[in-house]
Amino acid sequence: FTKASFKEFENIPNHDMLQSANAFKEFTDYMSENDHMNFRFITEGCGPIVQVKTSFMKNSRECISLVSNDYLNFTQHPKVKQAAIEGIMKYGTGAGASPLIGGHHEYHVQLEDHLSHFFNKPKGSSIVFTTGYTANSATLQALLKEEDCAIVDMEVHASVYEGLNNTNTKRFPHNSMIHLERALVDAQNKFRTKLVIIDGVYSQNGDIAKMDEIYELCEKYGAYLMVDDAHGIGVLGENGRGCIEIFNLLDKVHIISGTLSKALGHIGGFIVSSPEIINYLRYQARQQVFSSTSSPAANGLIKAIALIDEEPHWRTKLAENITYFKNGLLAMNLNIGTTQSAIIPVKIGDPHKTAQVARMLLESGVYANCIVYPGVSKKDARIRTSLMATHTKDHLDHVLNVFEHIAKKIDLTKTR
């Protein structure tokens, strides 16, 4: 293997699965031994400070974590933990079956009712899935067939693409209204259902969809709109209802998809839509039929949802942290792209340099993700940081100091 290129193990002619896996093992070994980024970390804890272990470190070390989507740090909130424990004590540790055949429990019903209420919708407007990933993939597989068409922003999450196997797909360049309109015109008389699918916050750049313009175009051309607001719900909008609240579209968006694993601090996903769509998904989404769902610890989520209203100061603190950290990075002339959220990339460009920076950060007690191809395009490697409400000013100052120190050794500003 030469310098880290995925092409060297991808699609090797005549390699069966075992040979491909062997080649891949050689590749990852090469990556570790040659001091490139080893992708596997073991983390202990979930919060602003964690213990991290990886192959090039003898012992685990304490780091400031910039890798978590636990934006409000509700995984550690005493009231959320207490409610999760109570759920387990009352109902046990598992759901025992898939939702349609005995695994839909009282705590699921309560959770769904709380989600409907949270989005100001009638009872029956929400359905819970085991993950945000399956909420997207199973819902889209159930709703869209070969007579239909999904029109997706190119940067939507992988779970959306996973759901589009049975249908027609048109992809438009990220947030480009001209291209979206072209796709809508093209699809207009050809397909039964036209569903435009966007993320609220895009997970690599941290920027937000132009949702108002997108909704207008959907209206104009008779398309439905689905928004995956995994990174916005609980965090953005005056009341934490996410990007859709920012654009005042909570009554308009046809399908809202979200996760329970980020701001809400647990695991799971959900869809909010009309009661008829939700009823259809209960029978038709394969995950509802063939896969068990969340454990009674999901009881903690009911408290977490309530805390979005009861303790808005977490959102305020996160917003303050974002402003402070972004200003610090910009003062060093680093390229943070177009972020408008808690996801703040430091764009470096060259993947090897980016891996080197990630390693230097780690050695200075800062744990941040090194994102290279295929996570992003080949010349767009970056350090991806995400902030939490419980990062202190001292934590952020330490990270900024480390970036400043690295920038003195490696020119981070010229490699965009």
Edge-to-edge strand list for the sheet holding 42-44: 42-44, 49-53, 61-65, 366-367
Contact stretch for ligand PMP (CB under 6 A) within 187-195, 226-234, 293-301, 348-356: 226-234
Q: Up-side HSE of residue 187: CA atoms within 13 Å toward CB?
A: 31
The answer to whether residue 70 forms part of the interface with ligand PMP (CB under 6 A) is no
CB of 156 to ligand PMP, least distance (A): 7
Residue number with CB closer to ligand PMP (37 or 343): 343
Instruction: Specify whether the backbone of 181 is left (phi greater than 0), alpha (psi in -120 to 50) or beta.
Output: alpha
The answer to whether residue 266 forms part of the interface with ligand PMP (CB under 6 A) is no
The answer to whether residue 390 forms part of the interface with ligand PMP (CB under 6 A) is no
DSSP string, 232-244: TTTTSSTTS--HH
Residue number with CB closer to ligand PMP (227 or 383): 227
The answer to whether residue 230 forms part of the interface with ligand PMP (CB under 6 A) is yes
The answer to whether residue 139 forms part of the interface with ligand PMP (CB under 6 A) is no
Compute and round to an integer the Cα radius of gyration of the chain: 22
CB of 162 to ligand PMP, least distance (A): 10
Q: How far apart are CA 92 and CA 368, in angstroms?
A: 36
> How distant is the alpha carbon of residue 127 from its chain centre?
19
Before 374, cis peptide (omega within 30)? yes
E runs forming strands in 162-321: 168-172, 194-199, 224-228, 255-259, 269-272
Q: How far apart are CA 5 and CA 9, in angstroms?
A: 8
For residue 386, the cross-strand partners are: 343
CB of 367 to ligand PMP, least distance (A): 17
Q: Is the dihedral of CA 230, 274, 192, 141 positive or negative?
A: positive
CB of 281 to ligand PMP, least distance (A): 16
How many of the chain's residues bind ligand PMP (CB under 6 A)? 14
Both tokens of residue 250?
Answer: 């909570």
CB of 200 to ligand PMP, least distance (A): 8
The answer to whether residue 74 forms part of the interface with ligand PMP (CB under 6 A) is no
DSSP string, 94-128: ---S-GGGTT--HHHHHHHHHHHHHTT--TT-EEE
CB of 155 to ligand PMP, least distance (A): 9
Contact stretch for ligand PMP (CB under 6 A) within 79-87, 112-120, 125-133, 210-218: 125-133
Q: How far apart are CA 105 and CA 408, in angstroms?
A: 57
The answer to whether residue 131 forms part of the interface with ligand PMP (CB under 6 A) is yes
The answer to whether residue 299 forms part of the interface with ligand PMP (CB under 6 A) is no
With CB under 6 A as the contact rule, the residue among 240, 269, 296, 351 that binds ligand PMP is 269
The answer to whether residue 157 forms part of the interface with ligand PMP (CB under 6 A) is yes
CB of 230 to ligand PMP, least distance (A): 4
CB of 111 to ligand PMP, least distance (A): 14
Residue number with CB closer to ligand PMP (134 or 321): 134
Contacts of 85 (CB under 8 A, 6+ apart): 297
Inter-residue long-range contacts of 56-60, CB under 8 Å, 24+ positions, other chains counted: 56/32, 56/359, 57/362
For the chain, what percentages of helix, strand and coil (3-state, to nearest 5) are there?
Answer: 40, 15, 40
Contact stretch for ligand PMP (CB under 6 A) within 172-180, 227-235, 237-245, 325-333: 227-235
Contacts of 398 (CB under 8 A, 6+ apart): 64, 365, 366
With CB under 6 A as the contact rule, the residue among 132, 163, 240, 345 that binds ligand PMP is 132
Is the separation of the CB atoms in 416 and 384 below 8 Å? no
Residue number with CB closer to ligand PMP (144 or 156): 156
Of residues 200 through 219, those in contact with ligand PMP by CB under 6 A are: 203
Q: Which residue is nearest to ligand PMP (CB)?
A: 132
Backbone angles phi, psi at 74, to 5 degrees: -70, -15
The answer to whether residue 259 forms part of the interface with ligand PMP (CB under 6 A) is yes
Residue number with CB closer to ligand PMP (38 or 136): 136
CB of 112 to ligand PMP, least distance (A): 16
Of residues 173 through 202, those in contact with ligand PMP by CB under 6 A are: 199
The answer to whether residue 133 forms part of the interface with ligand PMP (CB under 6 A) is yes
Residue number with CB closer to ligand PMP (203 or 356): 203
Q: Which residues bind ligand PMP (CB under 6 A)?
A: 131-133, 136, 157, 159, 199, 203, 228, 230-231, 259, 261, 269
